[in-house]
């Protein structure tokens, strides 16, 4: 029973937490077990091996940490971070210089944590809606011949603005200058949904959270450390207890795996989630995310928009983004940064985007993402990640069209849906397991 009942299914289109597949829910519906019995270590061993596949690493060492990326109110900035903190404290010492990119709410929160952990944070700031400024990174790395920069911290996909950063370029810059800085990546809203290649891009620590593209309940941080990061733990002086990788490694060696009690249910859930991803094929999963994202932004050849002030009908004949089919703009400023897991839609200044989110939930049982911090009231977000298919997305887009009209923005009903479904009808392949 919903805490506040709504008929039918809730259309969950926030960019995490996302829909949990029935198979995962069923797999988790079980009793507690003795985690010291032979069964749980045996399952953990296969989980650790399999989880490496979602990072595309063979040399990394994963840690399944009972936490999330961040665990407090997003507006307060009083944040205790799990996976982030684990990545930083295991590899760095207080005072270490870090280059970190501020491009939206989640990079802001990570930077806040970095500062509070007493690192010397060199912040590279861009407008919200832009990607990380990698030209500035290149000039900082070029100027740093004495290697004072110990780490580069970057959020692969900034969930607040729908911006994806180019990680391959970061690696190229470091390699070009033969710079040894660690490369730490927040892949919370990218891993398992976007192209992510830990080994190929030389990422030293990558992390995600269970409630994003893995489509599990909240509660498990998944951190993967490359060999250089593991080596760095030997000299890293940051205080760490709960997140200390050495405690895990000790139990890995013993073959019992757990320094403390794991959530048995989440482990079975993770097993089922990984099985589903491998059944579909990770590359197919990534392609599906690309398709759903394009459909959200997709091109409409003939769109009717009724402008509120001018009250005339405009026929647009050239290809447009789906959100543009409604006469609205994507918060992401350039195509190279478009995110395949979240689209942040900018609304006209006379409309409060929070009202769109409120009404969508109250009237249509549709959950959209709020605009956060700097873009609060200015954008709403459509999350298209995790366990989701084409027709579910069309339901969301139809709901958005209706709610836009509800708040006084006369988007032509059906225009975004038509654009998206035309694209999807041409691009959706047969379901791999049903061919
Ligand atoms: N990093 C990114 C990119 C996120 O999108 C989020 C949450 O949305 C976080 C970190 C924080 O994760 P959590 O809310 O699990 O603490």
Whether residue 342 has its Cβ less than 6 Å from ligand 1: no
CA of 365 from ligand 1 middle (Å) equals: 24
pLDDT number for residue 94: 98
172: its two tokens: 């190229």
CA of 128 from ligand 1 middle (Å) equals: 17
Whether residue 339 has its Cβ less than 6 Å from ligand 1: no
Question: Do residues 232 and 37 touch, judged by C-beta distance below 8 A?
Answer: no
CA of 253 from ligand 1 middle (Å) equals: 31
Whether residue 159 has its Cβ less than 6 Å from ligand 1: yes
pLDDT number for residue 320: 53
The percent of residues in the chain predicted with pLDDT above 90, rounded, is 86
pLDDT number for residue 309: 42
185: pLDDT strictly greater than 80: yes
CA 160 to ligand 1: nearest atom: 5
Lowest mean pLDDT among 28-32, 154-158, 308-312, 325-329: 308-312
422 or 310: which leads in pLDDT: 422
Q: Mean of the pLDDT values across residues 106-125?
A: 97
318: pLDDT strictly greater than 60: no
| Strand, coil or helix: 39 | helix
Between CA 45 and CA 40 the distance in angstroms is 9
Whether residue 188 has its Cβ less than 6 Å from ligand 1: yes
CA 209 to ligand 1: nearest atom: 15
pLDDT number for residue 96: 98
345: pLDDT strictly greater than 50: yes
pLDDT number for residue 68: 55
Per-residue confidence band for 73, with pLDDT thresholds at 50, 70 and 90 = very low
pLDDT number for residue 80: 37
Mean of all residue pLDDT scores within the chain: 91
Q: Which of 209, 339, 370 to mutate to test the pocket of ligand 1 (most atoms within 8 A of CB)?
A: 209
- 31-280 has CATH 3.30.360.10 classification: no
| Strand, coil or helix: 344 | strand
Residues β-bridged to residue 164: 157
| 381 marked among binding-site residues | yes
CA 70 to ligand 1: nearest atom: 16
Q: Mean of the pLDDT values across residues 155-161?
A: 98
Q: Which of 71, 189, 191, 266 to mutate to test the pocket of ligand 1 (most atoms within 8 A of CB)?
A: 189
Residues β-bridged to residue 188: none
Helix ranges (H only) for 117-226 are 134-143, 167-176
Question: Do residues 184 and 132 touch, judged by C-beta distance below 8 A?
Answer: no
Spell out where 2-96 has E strands. Answer: 11-13, 61-65
Q: Mean of the pLDDT values across residues 187-206?
A: 98
Tell me the pLDDT tens digit for each residue of 224-246: 999 999 999 999 999 999 999 99
CA of 366 from ligand 1 middle (Å) equals: 21
373: its two tokens: 């911090």
Q: Nearest to residue 13, comparing CAs of 288, 345, 396, 341? A: 396
Whether residue 298 has its Cβ less than 6 Å from ligand 1: no
Whether residue 25 has its Cβ less than 6 Å from ligand 1: no
| Strand, coil or helix: 64 | strand
CA of 310 from ligand 1 middle (Å) equals: 40
CA 278 vs CA 10, 274, 340, 432: distances in Å? 27, 6, 20, 11
pLDDT number for residue 435: 87
CATH of domain 11-16+281-434: 3.90.1150.10
Between CA 72 and CA 81 the distance in angstroms is 9
Supply the Cα-derived Rg of the chain in whole angstroms.
22
CA dihedral in degrees (111, 114, 118, 123; nearest 10)? Answer: -40
Whether residue 183 has its Cβ less than 6 Å from ligand 1: no
For the chain, the domains span 11-16+281-434, 31-280
Residues β-bridged to residue 186: 155, 207
Whether residue 209 has its Cβ less than 6 Å from ligand 1: yes
Q: Nearest to residue 399, comparing CAs of 376, 423, 424, 416? A: 416
What is the ipTM for the molecules in this complex? 0.99
Whether residue 68 has its Cβ less than 6 Å from ligand 1: yes
User: Burial code of 259-275, b = ≥16 C-beta within 10 A, e = fewer?
Assistant: eeebbbbbbbbbbbbbe
| Strand, coil or helix: 346 | strand
CA 79 to ligand 1: nearest atom: 16
DSSP track, 355-395: HHHHHHHHHH-EEEBPP-GGGTTTEEEEE--SS--HHHHHH
What DSSP element (H or E) covers 69? none
Please report the sign of the dihedral spanned by the C-alpha atoms of residue 412, residue 413, residue 418, residue 420.
positive
Q: Nearest to residue 222, comparing CAs of 45, 55, 40, 342? A: 55
C-alpha 400 chain-centroid distance: 22
User: Burial code of 401-414, b = ≥16 C-beta within 10 A, e = fewer?
Assistant: bebbeebebebbee
CA of 46 from ligand 1 middle (Å) equals: 26
87: pLDDT strictly greater than 70: yes
Please confirm whether the linkage preceding 17 is cis (ω < 30° from 0): yes
| Strand, coil or helix: 80 | coil
Residues β-bridged to residue 152: 99, 183
312: pLDDT strictly greater than 80: no
pLDDT number for residue 327: 83
Q: Mean of the pLDDT values across residues 310-326?
A: 52
CA 71 to ligand 1: nearest atom: 16
Q: Mean of the pLDDT values across residues 16-30?
A: 97
Question: Do residues 189 and 212 touch, judged by C-beta distance below 8 A?
Answer: yes
Per-residue confidence band for 71, with pLDDT thresholds at 50, 70 and 90 = very low
Tell me the pLDDT tens digit for each residue of 253-311: 999 999 999 999 999 999 999 999 999 999 999 999 999 999 998 643 323 343 444 44
Q: Mean of the pLDDT values across residues 345-357?
A: 96
Tell me the pLDDT tens digit for each residue of 372-415: 999 999 999 999 999 999 999 999 999 999 999 999 999 889 99
Whether residue 71 has its Cβ less than 6 Å from ligand 1: yes
Q: Nearest to residue 110, comparing CAs of 82, 129, 138, 140? A: 82
Lowest mean pLDDT among 44-53, 80-89, 156-165, 167-176: 80-89
Between CA 302 and CA 315 the distance in angstroms is 6
In angstroms, the first-to-last Cα distance of the chain is 36
């Amino acid at each position: 029973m919903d805490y506040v009942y709504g008929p039918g299914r809730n259309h969950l289109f926030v960019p995490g937490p996302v829909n949990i597949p029935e198979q995962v829910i069923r797999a988790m519906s079980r009793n507690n077990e003795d985690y010291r019995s032979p069964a749980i270590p045996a399952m953990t061993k296969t989980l650790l091996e399999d989880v490496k596949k979602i990072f595309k690493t063979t040399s990394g060492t994963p840690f399944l940490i009972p936490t999330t990326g961040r665990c407090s109110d997003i507006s307060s900035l009083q944040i205790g971070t799990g996976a982030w903190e684990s990545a930083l404290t295991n590899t760095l010492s207080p005072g270490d210089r870090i280059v970190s990119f501020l491009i939206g709410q989640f990079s802001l929160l990570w930077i806040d944590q970095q500062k509070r952990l007493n690192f010397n944070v060199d912040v590279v700031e861009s407008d919200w809606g832009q990607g990380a400024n990698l030209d500035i990174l290149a000039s900082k790395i070029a100027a740093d011949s004495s290697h004072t920069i110990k780490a580069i911290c970057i959020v692969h996909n900034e969930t607040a603005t729908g911006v994806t950063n180019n990680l391959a370029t970061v690696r190229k810059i470091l390699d070009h200058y033969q710079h040894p800085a660690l490369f730490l990546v927040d892949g919370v809203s990218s891993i398992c949904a976007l192209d992510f290649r830990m080994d190929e891009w030389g990422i030293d620590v990558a992390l995600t959270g269970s409630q994003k593209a893995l489509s599990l309940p909240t509660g498990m941080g998944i951190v993967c450390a490359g060999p250089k990061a593991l080596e760095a733990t030997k000299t890293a002086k940051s205080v760490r207890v709960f997140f200390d990788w050495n405690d895990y490694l000790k139990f890995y060696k013993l073959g019992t795996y757990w320094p403390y009690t794991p959530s048995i249910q989440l482990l079975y859930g993770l097993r089922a989630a990984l099985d589903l991803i491998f059944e579909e094929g990770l590359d197919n999963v990534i392609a599906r995310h690309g398709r759903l994202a394009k459909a959200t932004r997709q091109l409409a050849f003939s769109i009717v928009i009724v402008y509120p002030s001018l009250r005339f009908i405009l026929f647009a004949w050239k290809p447009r983004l789906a959100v543009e089919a409604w006469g609205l703009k994507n918060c992401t400023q350039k195509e190279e940064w478009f995110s395949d897991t979240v689209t942040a839609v900018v609304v006209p200044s006379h409309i409060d985007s929070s009202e769109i989110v409120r009404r969508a939930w109250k009237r249509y049982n549709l959950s959209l993402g709020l605009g956060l911090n700097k873009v609060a009231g200015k954008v709403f977000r459509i999350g298209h990640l995790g366990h989701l298919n084409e027709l579910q997305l069309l339901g969301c887009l139809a709901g958005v069209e209706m709610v836009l009209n509800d708040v006084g923005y006369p988007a032509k009903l059906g225009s975004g849906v038509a654009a998206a479904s035309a694209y999807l009808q041409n691009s959706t392949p047969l379901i791999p397991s049903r061919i």
